[in-house]
């Protein structure tokens, strides 16, 4: 089954249309910089998306203020999810780029309530390259941060 992908430009993407009210959503929360709404494709009961209101394709296009606002909204929504659904746990998930699993190219976080035996798996192949390789990788990142 093909996966839905929305890589429309700003103003034309599905999340931009949700922000402006052009298309309906089951809105949970909204403030000046963010919007939270129920994911139409519920991975688990209570799955919420938290998005920036301004169109930014990914994390790297957000301003620091928007980044903080989205995470604050995600924390607020996670607390509400915890109260409303009493899940066994909660994942906060974000994907940047198609290879990472991003299908709507408007920045958003997934707030995923987790239930024992819910069938949802978020896994990766663990690699342990050793300290010399980790030290080299860390040095490259420190240089990029400088």
Indicate the domain borders of the chain.
14-145
Question: Is 106 noted as a catalytic residue in this protein?
Answer: no
Q: How confident is the model at residue 133 (pLDDT cuts 50, 70, 90)?
A: very high
Q: Measuring CA to CA, how many Å separate 143 from each of 130, 132, 138?
A: 20, 17, 9
Which class would CATH give 14-145? alpha beta
pLDDT at residue 125, as a whole number? 86
Retrieve residue 124's tokens.
């990766």
Given this model, what pLDDT does residue 2 score?
43
Average pLDDT for 93-100: 93
Asked whether residue 124 carries a pLDDT value surpassing 90, the answer given is no
**pLDDT above 90 (res 81):** yes
Is the pTM of the predicted complex or chain greater than 0.75?
yes
Q: Catalytic: which of 47, 106, 108, 110?
A: 108
pLDDT band at 1 (very low <50, low <70, confident <90, very high): very low
**pLDDT for residue 39 is more than 50:** yes
Q: Residue 118, CB half-sphere, CA atoms under 13 Å: how many?
A: 19
pLDDT band at 141 (very low <50, low <70, confident <90, very high): very high
- The rounded mean pLDDT for the chain is 92
Higher pLDDT: 5 or 74? It is 74
User: Which range (4-8, 20-24, 112-116, 132-136) has the least confidence?
Assistant: 4-8
Residues 23-33: what's their mean pLDDT?
97
């Amino acid at each position: 089954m093909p996966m839905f992908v929305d890589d429309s430009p700003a103003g034309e993407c599905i999340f931009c249309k949700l922000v402006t009210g052009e298309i309906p959503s089951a809105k949970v929360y909204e403030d000046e910089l963010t919007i939270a709404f129920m994911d139409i494709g519920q991975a688990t009961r209570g799955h919420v998306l938290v998005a920036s209101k301004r169109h930014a394709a990914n994390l790297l296009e957000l301003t620091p203020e928007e980044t903080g606002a989205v995470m604050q909204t995600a924390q607020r929504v996670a607390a509400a999810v915890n109260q409303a659904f009493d899940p066994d746990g909660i994942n906060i998930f974000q994907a940047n780029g198609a290879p990472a699993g991003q299908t709507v190219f408007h920045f958003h976080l997934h707030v995923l309530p987790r239930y024992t035996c819910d069938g949802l798996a978020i896994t990766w192949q663990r690699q342990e390259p050793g300290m010399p390789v980790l030290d080299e990788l860390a040095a490259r990142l420190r240089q990029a941060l400088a």
